[in-house]
Structure 1
Amino acid sequence: MGIRKPVLAGCIVAAALCASGAACAASSVELYGQVDAWMGAQKSPGGYDRSWTQGGGGMSTSYWGLKGSEDLSGGWHTVFALEDFYRPQTGSMGRYDGDAMFSRNAYVGLQSDTLGKVTLGRLTTPYFVSTILFNPFVDSYTFSPMVFHTYMGMSGQGIVGDSGWNHAVMYSTPSVHGLTANVIYGFGNDENHSGQNKWGANALYFHGPFSATLAYQRVDFDSTPGDLDNLAPGFRRQQAAQAGAAYDFGWAKLYAQYQYIRNVISGGDVTMNGGQAGVSVPLGGGSVMASYAYTASGGASDVKRNTWALGYDYALSKRTDVYAAYFLDKITGLSHGDTFGVGIRSKF
């Protein structure tokens, strides 16, 4: 997430309150984020022309955030975060026009040193976290094959419900010998669709060079209850499961993921079955990254998608890196698409 720096105004206010006796519990507020911009060219599968572009979010979506905590004593803390995506190529708020200001995260909650954490608000889903931690291109919506196969699917529709859920509550366990778990529930908040909700969970294990994850989620709507019919007639719900693992040998880190998605549709279910294999190799002060993802749909649809990417990321400092990458994408029945470019990312 980058190097954290206290927000001066927050510290001044907290110091003044404590000096006056109004508030003396230990508290902190931090400003953090990253800026990522790239330039290159893109061609979508089935497209005819290559578009030369200067864009944002080559390796990571740009965002900024405020987060804080207050010590309530006895091992308890209040926590909060407000995080906003933005597009450095235009200075616009959000990932796209109409995206909410704090669409990355907006929550408040309680955390115990021994019992875990409960948060409420808009929350990043455990499924998204498992997806990005076990592929070498992490959360890149420009160059990561696994992100494309998971969130763009076979023809622009993969995981529904977004990478963050509104009206959500999540419980996160403390770490026990490297094992943690998260459970999330998203309310529909619509009296006309009281039975519609979203829920999911994941488990994460980190021990030395080995790490692994299991994730599952079920959603009954995309952004508002009753809206799945807008994506496909008769679309009722989606279930998704994923397993991932990685092992760091030092000279190379290997990644692997498997994923199964089932769209329950009255006219015939559509399934997506596939996975990703990747590697990152330290080289010359940076790392070479390679990833391949494959997904085949079944049921009422029969489409295959093959995607691979190759890139190099070089660290200029602890906070800034430059990168170059090439991405090739092929979907059944369409001419291949590709993306290539160079970019820079700075964290703060």
Structure 2
Amino acid sequence: MRKLTTLAAACGLAFCVNAHAQSSVTLYGILDAGIAYIHNSGGHSSQWKMSTGNISENEWGLRGTEDLGGGLAANFQVENGFDIASGQLHQNGRLFGRQAWVGLASPTTWGAVTLGRQYDPISDVLQPLTADAFSGIFATPGDVDNYDSSARFDNAVKWVSPNWGGVKLEAMYSFGGIAGATGSGQVYSGAASYNHGPFSIAGGYIHIDNGNATLSTRGTSASDSLFNSAVNAAYASAHAIDIARIGGNYVIDQVTVGAAYSYSKYSPDGHSTFTDSQKFQNGSVYATWQLSPAFQTTIGYNYTKSTGDSSATYHQVALGVDYLLSKRTDLYAVAAYQHASGQNGAGHAQAVIGSYDVNSGANYQVLTVAGIRHSF
């Protein structure tokens, strides 16, 4: 990452930043691209394609802080997501669709408060304890529990506590913004984490209102959509989504082992196209082996069971390897297999590996990707 600490450097990026001794603005980014092979994609038996954002989404951003004195600081972050293969913006064409927030922080007293488009507290505290270092290939099928942050949240106010002896708390509220219906489209979430030596554990809860259908279009919410694949597409008319997740890991020398569990409920109302709540339960385990400072490998397994309006079962195994060429550039390869059975609410359950969101059109799917990632 390149730190811009002078007025001339900042203005060279078309930003004019007052550069004080204890203030800074940092430009950073990630470029990630590879070649993918998918067996069973959209009803076809095979597909070769360029695949981007495989273990890290392509992004660039700016983050900054200003020391206000007395232990208080102002900070901000804006982060853009894009497709390196085409140059198109992600997150429905938003300029800063990954993050865009500003806030105040006092790390040793009351913590930090930020306002804007943000990640939810569960993603903040639990993702670092999962196999999400290899991103979506280890995620829950269709990312129905937001394992890989398919949803980020607009109009959000978030509080993060100081570190109290290894304990951290977070809370967030996102305004739906619908006139005459305060709760329509709102999101609220809370999470907690604890770290002590080699052991870490975290968990939390999030409630997503999917919009008051009498005052707005169903799906009008402060949350991005979680309905991105055949796994849960039949439940896009849900009134609300409730997700609870917990997980932890333990470090033993060069090996890290972890496990997680999530419960997701998609609830209907009179405007929904289904009548019984659909529930997804996911259990996952993984192990990461740091063979050397430059080379690591991760293996993981996900079991997902849905019940309620329909019933389906998904078994998924994934493997990833990563080799550092330098501190900023690495080569990687990932592979996964998933088998699906039962019904998904619209027909036979389709295999959909992680958050890659490629509908297989079949009851199993294989995905492999090899690529390069560069950070700055």
TM-score range, shorter chain: 0.7 to 0.9
Q: Equivalents in 2 of 1:222, 1:8: separation in Å? A: 46
Q: Determine whether 1:248 maps to 2:251.
A: yes
Per the alignment, residue 173 of structure 1 pairs with 161
Structure 1 position 47, deviation (Å): 2.9
Between the two proteins, the alignment pairs up a number of residues equal to 332
Q: Equivalents in 2 of 1:305, 1:319: separation in Å? A: 36
Greater alpha carbon shift after TM alignment, 307-316 vs 221-230: 221-230
Q: Equivalents in 2 of 1:70, 1:88: separation in Å? A: 32
Find the residue that maps to 2:183 and give its secondary structure.
coil
Structure 1 position 103, deviation (Å): 1.0
Greater alpha carbon shift after TM alignment, 303-312 vs 123-132: 123-132
- Do 1:277 and 1:292's aligned partners in 2 also have CA atoms closer than 8 Å? yes
Per the alignment, residue 118 of structure 2 pairs with 123
Q: Equivalents in 2 of 1:91, 1:222: separation in Å? A: 32
Structure 1 position 234, deviation (Å): 5.7
Q: Determine whether 1:214 maps to 2:203.
A: yes
Structure 1 position 161, deviation (Å): 9.4
Match of 2:239 among 236, 241, 245: 236
Structure 1 position 128, deviation (Å): 2.5
- Letter aligned with residue 200 of structure 1: S
Q: Equivalents in 1 of 2:71, 2:143: separation in Å? A: 38
Q: Equivalents in 2 of 1:297, 1:17: separation in Å? A: 51
- Letter aligned with residue 28 of structure 2: Y
- Do 2:112 and 2:160's aligned partners in 1 also have CA atoms closer than 8 Å? yes
- Letter aligned with residue 193 of structure 1: A
- Do 2:313 and 2:340's aligned partners in 1 also have CA atoms closer than 8 Å? yes
Root mean square deviation of aligned Cα: 2.9
In the superposition, relative to structure 1, how do residues 202 and 67 fare at CA in structure 2: closer, same or farther (>3 Å)?
same
Structure 1 position 240, deviation (Å): 0.5
Structure 2 residues not aligned, in runs of 5+: 221-232, 270-274, 342-347, 349-361
Percent of aligned pairs with the same residue?
28
Find the residue that maps to 2:45 and give its secondary structure.
coil
Structure 1 length as normaliser, TM-score? 0.86
- Do 2:205 and 2:244's aligned partners in 1 also have CA atoms closer than 8 Å? yes
- Letter aligned with residue 102 of structure 2: V
Greater alpha carbon shift after TM alignment, 216-225 vs 252-261: 216-225
Greater alpha carbon shift after TM alignment, 116-125 vs 38-47: 38-47
Q: Determine whether 1:204 maps to 2:193.
A: yes
Per-residue CA distance 1:222-265 (angstroms, 9 max, x = gap):
79965249964762111110110000101311010000011111
Structure 1 position 194, deviation (Å): 2.1
Structure 1 position 94, deviation (Å): 1.9
Per the alignment, residue 103 of structure 1 pairs with 97
- Letter aligned with residue 336 of structure 1: Y
Q: Determine whether 1:151 maps to 2:143.
A: yes
Per the alignment, residue 336 of structure 1 pairs with 364
Structure 2 length as normaliser, TM-score? 0.80
- Do 1:287 and 1:313's aligned partners in 2 also have CA atoms closer than 8 Å? yes
Q: Determine whether 1:263 maps to 2:255.
A: no
- Letter aligned with residue 191 of structure 1: A
